Amino acid sequence: RSAAVPRVLITDNLSPAGLEKLEAAGGIEVVVKSGLTPEQLREELKSADGIIIRSGTKLTPAALEGQTRLKAVARAGVGVDNIDLPAATKAGVVVMNTPSGNTVSTAEQALALMFALSRNTAPAAQSMNEGKWDRKKYTGTQLAGKTIGVVGLGRIGQAVARRCVALEMDVIGYDPFLSSDRAKELGVELVRDVDQLVPRVDYLTVHTPLTDETRGLINAERMKAMKKGVRLINCARGGIIDEAALAAALRDGTVGGAALDVFVEEPPPADSPLHGCPNLLMTPHLGASTEEAQELVALEAAEIMSNFLKTGE
């Protein structure tokens, strides 16, 4: 192998379209290795110019420290929270993501969970699996005419907001960076403080990254300020809605239902307060798990990686 041929390591399950694109780009050696231990990953990175990952691979300081050949990481997905950014910067490694490929799929997952919460779909299906026919117990509520708060109006939040407007819901949005003109175009009432939205909503969905500002954004105090029976949805990152506070609020009925696709620890540990909570619907981080989204993010990741390795930008 010529030392001049850049080598790209793929350590998570990337859609085949991405691999094909990378191979078709030519002049790149593609190496697929999944299930690496942290030590094996560190070793493999020594001979890689680039790495493409999803959320499974953790690029920790220990993995990145002292890597001299590695130039770029492409995250096939949005969140880069599995990459230690200071360590990457220190090692001179550029971090790229694919911000748009899974927008629609993640928005659709938020909607699927909202529908499921409003119609008790999961427990009703479960009861039929148990041989029951309990129509009264699972009476639901209609979405049209209800108010939803969308916290975070980036790509995914906006896609959710637009769809909720189409469902004839009243949409209140909070996003410190969204212009009032854009909010108007979307049909969203924009508030400048999350506390202005909290007491008014029947549903609340979060679509922010996890940062020091958003960790625990929806906390016990805010849950108490909500309408009794409010329903909460998190398809963004675990911890934006405080898990312990949510478990307590579901148990005492302050929160009437919640759907979580993401968790502080994934999967949630056996002693998580969430296990056994009433009216809680949990799914294993499936927002971006559609054929379409995975193909799009894989293609995008392959493209940005091959461009970067060939042109340096």
What x/- string results for residues 78 through 107 when contact with ligand MLT is judged by CB under 6 A? xx----------------------x-----
What x/- string results for residues 48 through 67 when contact with ligand MLT is judged by CB under 6 A? ------xx------------
Inter-residue contact 291 to 104 (CB < 8 Å): no
Q: Indicate if 266 belongs to the active site.
A: yes
Inter-residue contact 51 to 11 (CB < 8 Å): yes
Residue 209 is a binding residue for ligand MLT (CB under 6 A) = no
Task: Tokens for 204, please give them.
Answer: 């609340």
Half-sphere exposure of 162 (CA within 13 A, CB side): 13
Half-sphere exposure of 40 (CA within 13 A, CB side): 8
Residue number closest to ligand MLT, CB atom? 77
Task: Tokens for 29, please give them.
Answer: 């050696």
Task: Tokens for 77, please give them.
Answer: 């997905």
What x/- string results for residues 258 through 297 when contact with ligand MLT is judged by CB under 6 A? -----------------------------xx---------
Catalytic residue among 207, 237, 243, 300: 237
Q: Indicate if 237 belongs to the active site.
A: yes
Residue 141 is a binding residue for ligand MLT (CB under 6 A) = no
Nearer to ligand MLT, 14 or 72 (CB): 14
Q: What is the DSSP letter of 143?
A: -
Stretch that binds ligand MLT, among 74-82, 122-130, 132-140, 219-227 (CB under 6 A): 74-82
Q: What is the DSSP letter of 199?
A: G
Give the three-state DSSP class for 9: strand
Catalytic residue among 185, 266, 275, 291: 266
Inter-residue contact 245 to 220 (CB < 8 Å): yes
Binding site for ligand MLT (CB under 6 A): 54-55, 77-79, 102, 287-288
